[in-house]
Copies of this chain bind each other. A is one copy, B any other.
Amino acid sequence: MVNPKIIPQHRRLYEVLRKHILDGVYKEGDLLPSENELCQLYGMTRPTVRQSLGTLANDGYIKKHQGKGSIVNNLPSEIGILSVSGTTSAVGDRNLKTRIIVKPVLMPWPDEFMFPVTELEKESGCIYMERVRLLHNVPIFYDISYIANINLPRITARQFENRSLFQILRDHYHIEIKGGDQRIKAIHATIKISRLLKLKKDQPVLHLERKMETNNPALFLYSSIFCNTEKYSIFGRF
């Protein structure tokens, strides 16, 4: 048995610097301490420090300049769902509320599903739920989630109000999102969608279909997200 609490050093430094940036210790345009300074400060070698900075740069928090240093990026005020896993981490949980439309239920997979599912997934059945996410009390996202029922005991009994689905999966089932695929379309709001998001019928909405991979190679999460982009744009870096 191995201690699951040991976190790699480069990951530790990444988390520290990321938090400092989000907390405003380092502000937009600021120069981060140089790699050698970080080595001294945190007692690690340059390759390790560079791995942390590389990940930070990759996630869009900093931008590296040869001969100059690492500069903190302007962090988007818009909704950054394109490069992250859940709506909670995309907008922050300060002003996000959740309304359950359909509580988690176990059911067979839909016949025409948006992504191909494996035999194992099909046999296990599908945990289905519908939620509306409100930003500043305005409904913005209508999320339909599908999860294969693989090693998720009692999940249909849990409380999802104002909590992130991903947080529950991480805390209770040690499931981490590793990455995923997504498709985006612009569509007309159906009657149901326009009712849930308080839109006029036929108003254009953004439709995201996502397949998310987890640390369990057999377990995927699927989401169909309808998004009102009238007020808030969806934001991303590339």
Contact = CB atoms under 8 A, between A and B. Distances in A.
Contacts of A205: 186, 204
Contacts of A93: none
A181 to B, nearest CB: 6
Question: For the complex formed by this chain, how many copies does it contain in all?
Answer: 2
Interface string A219-238: 00000000101100111111
User: Chain A contact residues: over half helix, strand or loop, or mixed?
Assistant: strand
Contact of A179 (B184, B188, B227, B238): B238
Interface string A77-93: 01000111100000000
A30 interface: no
A180 B74 CA distance: 11
A185 interface: yes
Contacts of A28: none
B235 A181 contact: yes
A1 B187 CA distance: 54
Nearest to A57: B179
A182 B84 contact: no
Contact of A236 (B47, B58, B181): B181
Nearest to A236: B182
A206 interface: yes
Contacts of A188: 204
Interface of A: 47, 58, 76, 78, 82-85, 179-188, 202, 204-207, 209, 227, 229-230, 233-238
Nearest first, the 4 A-B pairs at minimum CB distance are A204-B204, A186-B186, A183-B233, A186-B204
Given A184-B236, A185-B229, 4 more contacts: A85-B238, A179-B237, A186-B204, A186-B207
